[in-house]
């Protein structure tokens, strides 16, 4: 057990000495101590990265350093959540507690990669120093996640395909709070609203960011911001402390948040989003998130999500390259529209898209349209993209995805595909990178572009033929949706459609 925790750690002797006392107790005791040590290492890394904020460096490097500090803060928070969650599972085997821990450790493992990716296009000297500071914390998180997965193999009972689901029922689950039931039943005019945003001055705020800043920090109850119709030209960011916020507009194309930050202006991809959210439990409804930078400005994110257990209902994400950055943690999208050209659904979250419409746009000359670029870097991570009961309206030659990282994982299930989805289906990232280790799957898709007869023959590509395998990628199992989606008021289907 100690060898597994200390695997590939530079100072092996020191690592062993940290856990010798815990070895006499229990495996969970070792795991708890490992988490504590990992969190201390992450806090040390923050202190090291902070030193670079006082140096005279170019603007892109400065932004990348600031990204790293924020992302390491994410890791510290996610490790702290994990330590707290362990207290709930030490004496039992409660599935959703185990799934929480997997989700949070998976996110913490990816943050350091995002930090380093921000140095693309810089001289590399600062990146090399920071890479050294991050190496040990990344290794420790990976070791803890691997060890936890080996200790806790979750067995989830299968459910019949015909199981009654939330959207088919007029009843609310017993665990839904009264306040949330009111949110579901009422329209914007009938529900309790905490803040109104309106461009014409008829609300308390005229900008969304002002309303977000005025919202309580670490709220335990749903805080509702109603945004009247109009085009709000601003970049909005909800930090970790802004939890349980619900943002309601007047409809896709009517309430629009629009900006044009992009990579060519000197921003890191992480910092380009028109709208970015990392506070837990975020809900958005009837809103358009738009980045107008265009295809020539390359990476330009419309929406970035680091919010665990977040849900988006009847929203539109509009951009070109890198439109929807499902960066980390558990996310659900229902009846949304996503527009883009290159890797326009990307990141390393655990995301399910259900009943969504995916539209391709015309790319730059010589570019190939790819819908997804999922970034799973470790086989222990519980991340991936599942596109279910959706619609791909491709007007350009289109590929379903390409492997951004070594263990990229994406499935399309029961989804309509137009004829512009190419016969081979999927595209290489670079030569044979990740073709043996990725997991790409298709299950009972339909439409002129859905034939699997000429699909790629990669070892990691799977034509899924059985329902139990496909069920792994549904709301109920992949993002543990039964435990949190009912309280959002967003329609969802637990399993497969029959």
The per-residue b/e assignment along 293-330, b for 16 or more CB within 10 angstroms, e otherwise, is bbbebbbbbbbbbbbbbbbbbbbbbbbbbbbbbbbbbb
314-317 LR contacts (CB < 8 Å, sep 24+): 314/251, 314/252, 314/285, 314/286, 315/252, 315/284, 315/285, 315/286, 315/287, 315/288, 315/289, 316/252, 316/253, 316/287, 316/288, 316/289, 316/290, 317/288, 317/289, 317/290
What are the CA-CA distances from residue 139 to residues 57, 68, 104, 135, 190 (Å)? Answer: 28, 17, 16, 6, 51
Query: Maximum Cα–Cα distance for the chain, whole Å?
Result: 67
Active-site annotation holds for 170: no
- 86: tokens are 């362990």
Please state, in angstroms and rounded to a whole number, the distance separating the CA atoms of residues 317 and 324.
7
Class of residue 24 by CB neighbours under 10 A (exposed 0-12, middle 13-18, buried 19+): exposed
- For residues 395 and 368, is the Cβ–Cβ distance under 8 A? no
Please state, in angstroms and rounded to a whole number, the distance separating the CA atoms of residues 17 and 15.
5
Check 306, 343, 378, 480 and give the catalytic one. Answer: 343
Catalytic residues, by residue number, are 343
């Amino acid at each position: 057990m100690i060898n597994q925790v200390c695997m590939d750690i530079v100072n092996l002797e020191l690592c062993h000495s940290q856990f010798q006392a815990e070895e006499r107790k229990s495996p969970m005791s070792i795991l708890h101590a490992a988490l504590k040590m990992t969190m201390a290492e992450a806090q040390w890394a923050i202190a090291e990265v902070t030193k670079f904020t006082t140096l005279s460096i170019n603007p892109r490097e400065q932004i990348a350093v600031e990204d790293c500090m924020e992302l390491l803060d994410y890791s510290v928070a996610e490790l702290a959540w994990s330590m707290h969650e362990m207290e709930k599972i030490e004496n039992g085997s409660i599935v959703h507690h185990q799934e929480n821990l997997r989700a949070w450790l998976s996110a913490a493992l990816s943050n350091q990669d995002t930090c380093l990716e921000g140095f693309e296009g810089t001289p590399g000297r600062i990146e090399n120093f920071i890479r050294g500071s991050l190496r040990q914390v990344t290794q420790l998180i990976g070791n803890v996640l691997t060890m936890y997965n080996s200790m806790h193999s979750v067995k989830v009972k299968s459910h019949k395909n015909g199981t009654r689901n939330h959207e088919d029922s007029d009843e609310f689950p017993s665990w839904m709070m009264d306040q949330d039931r009111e949110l579901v039943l009422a329209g914007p005019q009938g529900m309790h609203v905490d803040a109104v945003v309106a461009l014409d001055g008829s609300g308390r705020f005229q900008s969304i960011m002002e309303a977000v800043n005025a919202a309580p920090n670490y709220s335990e109850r749903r805080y509702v911001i109603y945004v009247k119709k109009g085009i709000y030209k601003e970049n909005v960011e909800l930090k970790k402390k802004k939890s349980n916020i619900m943002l309601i507009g007047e409809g896709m194309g009517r309430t629009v948040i629009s900006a044009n930050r992009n990579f060519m202006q000197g921003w890191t991809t992480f910092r380009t989003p028109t709208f970015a959210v990392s506070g837990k439990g975020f809900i958005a409804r009837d809103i358009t998130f738009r980045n107008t930078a265009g295809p020539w400005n390359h990476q330009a994110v419309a929406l970035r999500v680091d919010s665990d257990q977040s849900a988006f209902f009847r929203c539109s994400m509009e951009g070109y390259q890198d439109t929807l950055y499902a960066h980390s943690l558990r996310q659900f999208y229902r009846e949304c529209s996503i527009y883009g050209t290159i890797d326009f659904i990307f990141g390393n979250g655990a995301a399910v898209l259900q009943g969504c419409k995916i539209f391709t746009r015309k790319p730059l000359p010589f570019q190939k349209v790819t819908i997804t670029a999922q970034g799973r870097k470790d086989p222990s991570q519980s991340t991936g993209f599942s596109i279910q009961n959706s619609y791909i309206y491709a007007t350009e030659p289109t590929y379903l995805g390409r492997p951004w990282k070594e263990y990229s994982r994406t499935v399309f299930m029961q989804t309509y595909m137009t004829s512009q989805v190419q016969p081979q289906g999927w595209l290489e990232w670079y030569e044979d990178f990740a073709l043996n280790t990725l997991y790409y799957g298709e299950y009972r898709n339909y439409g002129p572009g859905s034939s699997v007869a000429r699909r790629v023959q990669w070892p990691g590509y799977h034509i899924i033929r059985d329902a139990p395998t496909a069920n792994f990628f549904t709301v109920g199992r992949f993002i543990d949706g039964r435990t949190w989606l009912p309280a959002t008021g967003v329609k969802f289907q637990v399993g497969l459609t029959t």
